Amino acid sequence: MSASERGCGLPAADGEAAGVHRSRLVIAGAGSGVGKTTLTIGLMAALKARGLAVQGFKCGPDYIDPTYHTAITGRPSRNLDAWMMGPAAVREIFLRASAGADLSLIEGVMGLFDGKRATDDEGSTAHIARLLRAPVLLVVNAASMARTAAAIVKGCQAMAEGFAIAGVIANQVGSAGHARLIREAVEQVCGVPVVGSLVRDDGLVIPERHLGLVPAVERGELAPLFAKLAARVAETVDLDAVVALARSAPPLAPEPPRLFSPEKRHSGPPRARIAVARDEAFNFYYPENLELLEHAGAALVFFRPTHGDRLPEEVDGLYLGGGFPEVYAAELARNHALKADIRQAAAAGMPIFAECGGYMYLCRALTTSDGRTHEMVGLIPARVRMGQRLAELGYREVRAERDTPLLAAGETARGHAFHYSVLEPEPDAADAWPYAYCVHSRFGERREGYAAGSVLAGYTHLHFASNPRMAERWVAACAAFRRARLR
C-alpha cells in the first residue's frame, strides 16, 4: 500500500497538521441490499433538517443513487470510483466538491470489500475509504440474528487495512429489544459503538425498476419520503455520534489539481456551445464530464427532448446521455422536429456523442418491453429492443478503433455499462458496421459502439476523468465546427 493510500488507522504523515480538514464518513454495507441507500438518504435528510450543509458522494459508477443525494442536499452528488478515474482524481474530486460543506457522506457500493475483482479491493468501498482516510460506518442487516452481527463486524475489521470501522448501524431489527442485543454483542466483541438502528418498515422501501432505483428527477413525491426517513433516523440513530465520527477524520494532504488545473482552464468567450439533453429520459451524466467540457471552454445549453424541445439554436455539438428512453419512447417518437434537427446537424458535420440511452435514441426504432415499436431519430442504421434479462453489466475499458470526436484511434478510456436492451444492426449495414471501440471487460474483448462521420455512440458510459483529453478533443472538434458554421 502506497503512502498516499494510508488510512485512518495508520500514523499521520509529517506535516499533516497543515492538511485539509474535511469532515467525512463512508456509509458501507456488509453486503448488497442491507439498506445503505435508505440509511444514507435518511441521514442526509436528518442532518440537513438540523441546518447542516451535507455533501453526498457515491462509491462506484452508479448514476441513480446520487440523484437522491442531490435532491435531499441541494448539492450535486459525485461518484468516486478509483478504477475508472484513478486515486489522484478521487481525492481531487472529493476535495473540490466537499468545499463549503459541514460534512460529507459517502455511500458505498455492494459490500465493503466488493470491487473489480474477488482477489483485491480495487474499485471497492474499502478502496475509497483508504484513499480518503475516511472512517467507516458499517450497515448490517441484523434481521434474524443477534450475536452473529458481531461476527460480521469482526470479520470486516479483520480485513480493514488502512481505514477504521468507526461505528455500526443495525438495520432491519425487529424491536428496541432486538436492537439492544445487537449493540451489546457488537460493542463487547468488536469495541466499536453501535450508533443506531432502524426497525423493519415496508413503508420505507424505495421503488425499483429494471435499472435500479427510480431517478429522483422523475418523481414528485420525494419530499414526504425524505421527511419520513429523516424523522425515523432522528428517532433511533444518534446523530451527534454520527457527526462526531465524521469530524474524527484526519486531515487530507492537499494536492495540486490535475483535472481542473487553473492553468488549463479556458478563459474568455466560450469556444463552442454544446447542447445537452437533460430530462426524464436522459439524465445519466457524471458531473465532472460536464464540468470538464466547461473547463475546456464549452458553454452548455440544456434542453428536454421528452417535453417537445427542439435542438437549441446556434449550437456546435450535441451530448445525449443515458437514462430511460424506453420509458418515454412514445414522447420521444412524437418529437418529429427534434429528430429532424439531429439528422440535419449530423449531415452538417456537427460532433454528436451519445451514451447508452442516447445511443438507443439515435437508432431507427425502439421496441419496448410491451412489444410496441417507436420510431427514433434514424441516424444509426439499427433497431433496439428491450429484453427481460440484463444484457450487460460491469466495468469497461475502451480503445478507439478509429479517430472520433472524443478519442484518437488507439487512445483508451474507462467507463461502465448497464443495460437491458439489445441493438441489432439492419441487415444491409451489419457487414460494414463502423465500430467505435474495442472493449475490454472481465469477459474478454469485443467490438462495440458506432463511429461514422462526426457521430460517436455506444453503450459504455465513459468517465472523462479516465482520460481528460476527451473533453479537450471534443470541445476542439465543436470549435472547429463552429468556425466552419460561421464562415
Where a domain ends, among 247, 280, 311?
A: 247
Q: Categorise residue 100: left if φ over 0, alpha if ψ from -120 to 50, beta otherwise.
A: left
Mean local confidence (pLDDT), 88-93 = 96
Taking CA atoms, 392 is separated from 67, 323, 357, 420, 433, in Å, by: 22, 15, 13, 7, 20
Mean local confidence (pLDDT), 237-256 = 94
At 2 the pLDDT is 38
Domain count, the chain: 2
Three-state DSSP at 23 gives coil
Quick one: pLDDT band at residue 74, thresholds 50, 70, 90? very high
pLDDT tens across 342-376, in order? Answer: 999 999 999 999 999 999 999 999 999 999 999 99
At 412 the pLDDT is 97
Taking CA atoms, 230 is separated from 46, 79, 384, in Å, by: 4, 23, 41
At 10 the pLDDT is 32
Q: Is the pLDDT of residue 205 over 70?
A: no
At 64 the pLDDT is 86
Mean local confidence (pLDDT), 243-248 = 97
pLDDT tens across 112-150, in order? Answer: 998 878 888 888 999 999 999 999 999 999 999 999 999
Q: What percent of the chain has pLDDT over 90?
A: 78
- Do 229 and 296 sit in the same domain of this protein? no
Quick one: pLDDT band at residue 210, thresholds 50, 70, 90? low
pLDDT tens across 281-320, in order? Answer: 999 999 999 999 999 999 999 999 999 999 999 999 999 9
- Do 243 and 296 sit in the same domain of this protein? no
- Do 336 and 211 sit in the same domain of this protein? no
Residue 9 lies in a domain: no
At 228 the pLDDT is 87
Q: Give the contacts of 445 (CB within 8 A, at least 6 positions apart).
A: 438, 439
Q: Is the pLDDT of residue 201 over 50?
A: yes
Residue 12 lies in a domain: no
Count the Cβ atoms, other than its own, within 10 Å of residue 376.
23
- Do 279 and 222 sit in the same domain of this protein? no
At 439 the pLDDT is 94
Residue 8 lies in a domain: no
Of how many residues is the chain composed?
487
- Do 107 and 230 sit in the same domain of this protein? yes
Quick one: pLDDT band at residue 388, thresholds 50, 70, 90? confident
**In what helix (H) or strand (E) does residue 128 lie, and over which residues does it extend?**
helix 125-131
CA 46 to chain centre: 23
Which string of DSSP letters, residue by residue, matches 166-211?
Answer: EEEEEEEESSHHHHHHHHHHHHHHH---EEEEEE--GGGPPPEETT
- Do 294 and 368 sit in the same domain of this protein? yes
Which three cell numbers mark 201? 418498515
Q: Which of 25-29, 65-69, 250-254, 483-487 has maximum average pLDDT? A: 25-29
Q: What is the rounded distance in angstroms from the CA atom of residue 347 to the CA atom of residue 333?
A: 20
- Do 209 and 342 sit in the same domain of this protein? no
- From the list 206, 34, 200, 46, the residue with the least C-alpha distance to 125 is 34
Quick one: pLDDT band at residue 8, thresholds 50, 70, 90? very low
- Do 170 and 221 sit in the same domain of this protein? yes
Asked if 58 and 90 touch (Cβ cutoff 8 Å), the reply is no
- Burial category of 338 from C-beta neighbours within 10 Å (exposed 0-12, middle 13-18, buried 19 and up): buried
Q: What is the rounded distance in angstroms from the CA atom of residue 480 to the CA atom of residue 475?
A: 9
CATH number of the domain to which 366 belongs: 3.40.50.880
At 216 the pLDDT is 56
Three-state DSSP at 117 gives coil
Quick one: pLDDT band at residue 327, thresholds 50, 70, 90? very high
From the list 156, 190, 356, 478, the catalytic residue is: 356
Asked if 107 and 59 touch (Cβ cutoff 8 Å), the reply is yes
Quick one: pLDDT band at residue 4, thresholds 50, 70, 90? very low
pLDDT tens across 411-467, in order? Answer: 999 999 999 999 999 999 989 999 999 999 888 899 999 999 999 999 999 999 999
User: Strands 373-375 and 363-367, how do they pair?
Assistant: antiparallel
Residue 1 lies in a domain: no
Q: What percent of the chain has pLDDT over 70?
A: 92
Q: What is the rounded distance in angstroms from the CA atom of residue 37 to the CA atom of residue 390?
A: 22
Asked if 246 and 44 touch (Cβ cutoff 8 Å), the reply is no
Asked if 358 and 305 touch (Cβ cutoff 8 Å), the reply is no
- Do 204 and 341 sit in the same domain of this protein? no
Q: Specify the pTM.
A: 0.91
The β-bridge partners of 194 are: 168
Three-state DSSP at 99 gives coil
Residue 36 lies in a domain: yes
**In what helix (H) or strand (E) does residue 49 lie, and over which residues does it extend?**
helix 36-49
Q: H helices of 320-447, where?
A: 329-334, 336-347, 357-362, 427-430
Which three cell numbers mark 185? 454483542
Asked if 425 and 381 touch (Cβ cutoff 8 Å), the reply is yes
Residue 473 lies in a domain: yes
At 193 the pLDDT is 97
Task: Identify whether 356 is a catalytic site residue.
Answer: yes
Quick one: pLDDT band at residue 9, thresholds 50, 70, 90? very low
Q: What Rg value do the Cα atoms of the chain yield, rounded? A: 23
Indicate the DSSP class of residue 369: T
- Do 287 and 224 sit in the same domain of this protein? no
Quick one: pLDDT band at residue 391, thresholds 50, 70, 90? confident
CA 374, 376, 378, 381 torsion: positive or negative? negative
Asked if 315 and 321 touch (Cβ cutoff 8 Å), the reply is no
Residue 130 lies in a domain: yes
At 355 the pLDDT is 97
Which three cell numbers mark 175? 424491536
Residue 321 lies in a domain: yes
CA 420 to chain centre: 18
**Average pLDDT, whole number, for the chain?**
91
Domain that holds residue 108: 20-247
- Do 287 and 210 sit in the same domain of this protein? no
- Do 276 and 242 sit in the same domain of this protein? no
Q: Is the pLDDT of residue 470 over 90?
A: yes
Name the phi and psi angles at 95, rounded to 5.
-65, -40
At 319 the pLDDT is 98
Asked if 374 and 330 touch (Cβ cutoff 8 Å), the reply is yes
Three-state DSSP at 218 gives helix
At 13 the pLDDT is 34
CATH number of the domain to which 45 belongs: 3.40.50.300
- From the list 324, 291, 289, 108, the residue with the least C-alpha distance to 216 is 324
